[in-house]
Structure 1
């Protein structure tokens, strides 16, 4: 089965970043239109089709609302499956930077210092934002390979941010 085009589904231009207010307005309209309660008297087959359509609307909304998932979706429409493509980053500088950031996190973890950890969180979050801005530039230039590489970089940074946030939760729980 063909993958749905969520931009089409929500009547949005195929571009990033997604206009979230327009996405939300179109989502709410579709939700009202395809709400299962509207098909209470329909036959079982029609009900099943509506439930599937409603699920697709929800999935599309959550995909396009998330900037990274929206980028992955756009790339998949261009023939690049970010989920199955190998997560290989051919950028030695970026990989070295990741190594340094992970070492820094280990040092911070041993220091037990809220302020340093919060600052580090902000630093990595800002780095992820920069990589996202580069991703948008590559998409605008239709350089799909480079855009895919940026998504892989964002995944690395996202995992690091998740580790930092787990540490923060641990520290604040003490």
Structure 2
């Protein structure tokens, strides 16, 4: 079996590089690829051959998990096109801003119970605009 570690997941599975994936073809190719690198086939092979087999099996598993999951597949396609998504970036922002947003939401929830809801809303809007 000749699986290059530099192949894209789509190339590895002989699938077109697009979001829609033929799940039956993906599953079938996965089983075929795994049969080619199964550890039993390399039990009496050299250390190097076993190591290469393990690397290939790992690549196949990772590619399969990525292509079978719609979100992972979308992120992978974006990365292939130079638009990688950094999951480590936080969108939380400034803690003071977040606290202000939480307080505003709480005040909005209390508007209905106010004696004069419209006047309370006007007051809230004035504070937000200030």
| TM range, smaller chain | 0.5 to 0.7
Give the RMSD, CA atoms, in angstroms. Answer: 2.5
User: What are the equivalent positions in structure 2 for 1:120-131 lying under 5 Å apart?
Assistant: none
Partner of 1:75: 78
Instruction: Please tell me whether residue 5 in structure 1 is matched to residue 19 in structure 2.
Output: no
In the alignment, the residues of structure 2 paired with residue 15 and residue 85 of structure 1 have an alpha-carbon distance, to the nearest angstrom, of 26
How many residues end up aligned between the 2 structures? 90
In the alignment, the residues of structure 2 paired with residue 3 and residue 76 of structure 1 have an alpha-carbon distance, to the nearest angstrom, of 15
TM-score (normalised: structure 1): 0.46
User: What are the equivalent positions in structure 2 for 1:81-160 lying under 5 Å apart?
Assistant: 81-83=84-86, 86=89
User: Which is richer in helix?
Assistant: 1
TM-score (normalised: structure 2): 0.61
5+ residue gaps, structure 2: 92-100, 106-130
Residue 83 of structure 1 and its aligned partner are, at CA, apart by 3.1
Q: Larger C-alpha radius of gyration, 1 or 2?
A: 2
Partner of 2:26: 23
5+ residue gaps, structure 1: 89-98, 104-174
- Would you identify which runs of 4 or more consecutive aligned residues in structure 1 move more than 6 Å? none
